[in-house]
């Protein structure tokens, strides 16, 4: 089984492809896709949709997993992330892929056993669960890996 994990965002979008065979997970791909801040929001959403479709075509995942929206103080940012999630939900349905959604608490608890884990704790713990052979530049990428791993653990 192959899972596409997505950490939704309109500025940075974490992406991870993890394959599980015989109970063992392997990280096949991960990236932090960024949109051009100079572009209008609709162009940024289009770029995100195009990138996700490219990943779906290239890797042919069996499932998509993403993070449920966590409302912060900045409602403008929350709305933009919600619109990004709309693209993820739409593309999952368009390609007939099951969609799993997890709260940050669920992901942190699954990965570290502690629902209040911080970004550093998550980044320290993830390589203990899955081998990572590349440099991770942004925490969004770690988050996408964690979301995909949560999907496997939740099955």
pLDDT, tens digit only, all 155 positions of the chain: 999 999 999 999 999 999 999 989 999 999 999 999 999 999 999 999 999 999 999 999 999 999 998 665 567 788 889 999 999 999 999 999 999 999 999 999 999 999 999 999 999 999 999 999 989 989 999 999 999 999 999 97
One of 36, 106, 140, 143 is an active-site residue; which one? Answer: 140
Count of the separate structural domains present in the chain:
1
Q: What is the 3-state secondary structure (H, E, C) of the chain?
A: CEEEEEECCCCEEEEEEEEEECCEEEEEEEEEEECCCCCCHHHHHHHHHHHHHHHHHHHCCCEEEEECCCCCCCHHHHHHHHHHHHHHHHHHHHCCCCEEEECHHHHHHHHHCCCCCCHHHHHHHHHHHCCCCCCCCCHHHHHHHHHHHHHHHCC
- The CATH number for 125's domain is 3.30.420.10
One of 67, 83, 118, 141 is an active-site residue; which one? Answer: 67
Q: Which pLDDT score is estimated for 69?
A: 80
124 is an active site residue? no
Task: Note the pTM of the prediction, 2 decimals.
Answer: 0.95
Report how far Cα 5 is from the mean position of its chain's Cα atoms. Answer: 4
7 is an active site residue? yes
62 is an active site residue? no
Q: Which pLDDT score is estimated for 60?
A: 98
Please give the residue range of the domain that contains residue 35. Answer: 2-153
Q: Which pLDDT score is estimated for 46?
A: 98
């Amino acid at each position: 089984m192959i899972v596409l994990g997505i950490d939704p965002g309109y500025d940075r979008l974490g992406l991870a492809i993890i394959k599980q065979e015989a109970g063992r997970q392997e990280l096949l791909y991960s990236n932090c896709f960024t949109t051009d801040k100079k572009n209008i929001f609709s162009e940024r959403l289009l770029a995100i949709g195009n990138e996700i479709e490219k990943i779906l075509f290239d890797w042919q995942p069996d499932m998509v997993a993403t993070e449920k929206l966590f409302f912060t103080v900045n409602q403008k940012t929350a709305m933009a992330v919600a619109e990004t999630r709309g693209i993820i939900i739409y593309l999952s349905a368009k390609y007939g892929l099951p969609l799993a959604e997890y709260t940050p608490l669920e992901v942190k608890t699954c990965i570290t056993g502690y629902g209040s884990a911080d970004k550093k704790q998550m980044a320290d713990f993830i390589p203990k669960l899955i081998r990572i052979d590349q440099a991770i530049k942004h925490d969004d990428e770690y988050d996408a890996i964690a979301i995909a791993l949560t999907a496997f653990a939740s099955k």
